[in-house]
Structure 1
Amino acid sequence: MHTSRLQNIARIVLGAFLTFAGVSHVTFNRHEFLAQVPKWLPIDPDLTVILSGIVEISLGLALIFVIQYRKWVGIAAAVFFVLIFPGNISQYVNKVDAFGLNTDNARFIRLFFQPLLILWALWSTNALKKKHH
């Protein structure tokens, strides 16, 4: 299915963003991401951060380079954004300072960006468009 030039640019930018975020998970921002892991998650927080970073790197690179399956990669990225949303909620509910979000208001506003990321992943890969036969 054809995507517009704007969609392709948006897909590549999202892929670069995810790749960078994934690299930062396993390197220089590891402590910040640890602060977001919900306490109720039954997995070691450090392992959670490392694995989510690997998934982000994989999704980011796939968004950029796996053009043939971009719709499915977009769906996978959207699902990933849904799955990590509890971390954002946990950061807000538990008043955890991380990534410069050191007020309740800042943490609350951030919650509204997750649905935008989901839509970005779906729109930029044409995953929202029905296939015509």
Structure 2
Amino acid sequence: MRTAGRWLLAAVLAAAGISHLTWGRHGYRIVVPDWATRTTGLSKDAIVVGSGVAELLLAGAVVTIPRERSVGWLVAAFFVAVFPGNVHQWRTGRSAPLMRTDRARLVRLFLQPVLVVWALWANR
């Protein structure tokens, strides 16, 4: 069961990473809060690309070093780190790929803790 959970988690991360680097790249910039660019000194596009690369690296780590507990913690930390962007998108009501309604944006907020727990469970 845990192995299937890891592979599915890796697939979700890889799909998200690919979308951040390709078809969704422009739309995901809307999700990046202005304070993130001021804090990091990076453009919104650079943050989107960076998150896409991080998702792909994490997907690879989940698959290649499945028993390493720190991988689960890294994936969970990533999910926590992107949560402010999800809150920003919900508060501003801005549409982004796959998040075109207020309901979808709200559900996404409640999905984030599930992703954190999933990452920790799948990689322990």
TM-score by length of 2: 0.90
Unaligned residue ranges in structure 2 (runs of 5+): none
RMSD: 1.2
Which moved further from structure 2: 114-123 or 101-110? 101-110
Percent of residue pairs identical: 39
Match of 1:57 in 2: 56
How many equivalent pairs are there? 120
**Normalized per residue, which structure has more helix?**
2
Per-residue CA shift, 1:2-26, capped at 9, x if unaligned? xxxx011101110111012111111
Which residue pairs with 1:8 in the alignment? 3
Quick one: which of 111, 114, 124 aligns to 1:113? 111
Measure, in 1, the Cα distance between the counterparts of 2:31 and 2:95.
9
Bigger Rg over Cα: 1
The equivalent of 2:92 in structure 1 is: 94
* Matched residue, 2:43: 44
User: d(CA) in 1 for partners of 2:17 and 2:50?
Assistant: 9
- For residues 64-88 of structure 1, the C-alpha deviation after alignment (integer angstroms, 9 at most, x for no partner) is 111342x110100000000000010
Shift of 1:104: 2.2
Deviation above 6 Å: which 4+ runs of structure 1?
none
